[in-house]
Amino acid sequence: MKGYLAESDDWIVLNTSMTILAEWSATDPDLAGWLIPELVRLTQDRRKSVARRAARLRAGLIDVS
């Protein structure tokens, strides 16, 4: 799943991967630590749906780094 988020350019794959990884990171601090910088990166995506979802999910995560 991390690979999809890091390497895919498909907006559906990115949105789905972000959502699932954010849910999983609620119980996995290591995953949350990896996910936060990825979400920050994706807030700058050219596609509004990807950028907005990344920002919304990032706001819901506690920074563990």
Judge whether 65 lies within some domain: no
Judge whether 42 lies within some domain: yes
Q: Supply the pLDDT for residue 63.
A: 56
Q: In terms of C-beta distances under 8 Å and separation of at least 24 residues, what long-range contacts does 37-42 make, across chains too?
A: 37/65, 38/5, 38/6, 42/5, 42/14, 42/18
Split into its structural domains, the chain has a count of: 1
Judge whether 9 lies within some domain: yes
pLDDT band at 65 (very low <50, low <70, confident <90, very high): very low
pLDDT tens by residue, 25-62: 989 999 999 999 999 999 999 999 999 999 999 999 86
Domain hosting residue 22, numbered range: 2-60
Q: Supply the pLDDT for residue 62.
A: 65
Q: What is the mean pLDDT of residues 17-31?
A: 94
